[in-house]
């Protein structure tokens, strides 16, 4: 036996909270998460490669001159998600090549958590490549310094090879040698995303005067067509065992089973709170 009641607007509201979710992607797992590996080159004759390079420069490095270590102006680098205002020690050097790991929004949520990106070395630097006194190897690990910079773990002086755009889910390799290898190699990677969860709250209230009687013969009559003892009893009360939620088109969208049958009171209002996480 079912009873229907239309909820008022004040009976339904949405609350949100954020969950930090850890992700790990293996060398062959990028396609499963929809992570794209994009390559660009400043002077490439390939139109798409040049377009990607120009786009990345315009979006994230337009206040810089190439390989310029002077202080950045204006100070709104990365706009409202800027992590730093200088290119000290080569942190924001955009050279001739760029490779981007583009993580889908449904994976990174509102943003990548700063300081959580870790990329494991899988031939992403040419073994034997010497730069500023640092010898890169194919077992290096790249880390995020919490300010949007990628650097080689343990390097001295610190070897910066790219940036993390937290709010857009982009991991950008700007170091020429590293970017060159990133166009063909998908290294194992881990990070934490900031995922918003939406809880739909429904207050299903049955007033004391509602749903205390029924005209359903299956509840009133026994198999012989006589009134059942329950129907004759002045204390007859229905039980609530299931709550269903319908949309405006009267389509059933969710069903909740109660832990145990709930007696519908004829003396006080009964409220059942249903929470649906999406």
Q: Which domain holds residue 98?
A: 27-187
Max CA distance (Å), the chain = 97
For residue 275, what is the enclosing H or E element?
strand 270-277
Q: How far is it, in rounded angstroms, from Cα 104 to Cα 218?
A: 54
Are 99 and 146 members of one domain? Answer: yes
- pLDDT values of the chain reduced to their tens digit, one per residue, 278 residues: 577 788 888 888 888 777 888 999 876 678 888 998 899 999 899 999 999 999 998 888 865 444 333 443 434 333 333 333 334 444 567 888 898 999 999 899 889 999 999 988 644 444 333 343 333 445 678 899 888 888 888 888 888 888 999 989 999 988 777 776 655 466 788 999 988 888 888 888 888 888 776 666 666 666 666 666 555 555 567 788 898 888 888 888 888 888 888 888 888 998 888 888 76
Question: How many whole angstroms separate alpha carbon 214 and alpha carbon 232?
Answer: 13
Q: Bridge partners of 265?
A: none
pTM above the 0.85 mark? no
CA distance 142 to 136: 11
Q: How many domains does the chain have?
A: 2
Residue 22: inside a domain, yes or no?
A: no
Q: Is 21 domain-assigned?
A: no
Report d(CA 172, CA 182) in Å as an integer.
10
Residue 45: both structure tokens together: 């004759």
- In a shared domain, residues 100 and 177: yes
Q: What is the DSSP letter of 26?
A: -
DSSP category for residue 166: G
Domain closes at, from 130, 160, 187: 187
* Pairwise CA distance, residues 172 & 126, whole Å: 18
> What kind and span of H or E run contains 70?
none
Q: State whether 53 and 149 are in the same domain.
A: yes
Count of all residues that appear for the chain in the document: 278
Same-domain status, 260 and 156: no
Q: Is 109 left (phi over 0), alpha (psi -120 to 50) or beta?
A: left
Do 35 and 102 touch, CB atoms closer than 8 A?
A: yes
HSE toward the beta carbon, residue 68, CA cutoff 13 A: 10
Radius of gyration of the chain measured on its C-alpha atoms: 30
DSSP letter for 31, please. H
- 92 and 213 co-located in one domain: no
Looking at the domain assignment, is residue 192 inside a domain? no
Query: Is 2 part of a structural domain of the chain?
Result: no
Cα within 13 Å of Cα(152), Cβ side: 23
Which of 42, 3, 1 lies closest to 246, judged by CA? 3
Dihedral sign (CA 209, 210, 215, 217): negative
Separation of alpha carbons 226 and 71, rounded Å: 92
């Amino acid at each position: 036996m079912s009873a229907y009641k239309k909820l008022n607007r004040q009976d339904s509201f949405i609350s949100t909270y954020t969950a930090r979710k850890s992700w790990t992607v293996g060398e062959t797992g990028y396609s499963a998460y929809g992570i794209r590996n994009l390559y660009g080159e400043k002077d490439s004759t390939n139109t798409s490669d040049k377009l990607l390079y120009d786009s990345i420069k315009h979006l994230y490095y337009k206040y810089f001159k190439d390989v310029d270590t002077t202080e950045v102006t204006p100070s709104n680098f990365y706009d409202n998600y800027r992590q730093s205002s200088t290119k000290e020690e080569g942190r924001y050097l955009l050279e001739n090549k760029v490779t981007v790991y583009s993580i889908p929004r449904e994976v990174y949520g509102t943003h990548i958590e700063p300081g959580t990106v870790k990329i494991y070395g899988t031939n992403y630097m040419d073994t034997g490549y010497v730069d500023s006194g640092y010898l890169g190897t194919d077992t290096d690990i790249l880390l995020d310094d919490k300010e949007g910079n990628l650097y080689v773990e343990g390097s001295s002086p610190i070897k910066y090879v790219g940036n993390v755009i937290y709010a857009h889910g982009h991991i950008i390799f700007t170091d020429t040698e590293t970017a060159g290898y990133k166009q063909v190699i998908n290294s194992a990677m881990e990070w934490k995303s900031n995922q918003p969860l939406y809880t739909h709250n429904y207050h299903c209230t049955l007033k004391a005067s509602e749903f205390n009687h029924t005209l359903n013969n299956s509840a009133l009559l026994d198999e012989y067509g006589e009134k059942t003892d329950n129907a004759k009893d002045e204390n007859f009360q229905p039980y609530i065992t299931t709550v269903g939620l319908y949309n405006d088109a009267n389509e059933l969208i969710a069903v909740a089973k109660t832990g145990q049958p709930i007696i519908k009171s004829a003396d006080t209002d009964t409220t059942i709170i249903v929470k649906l996480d999406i």
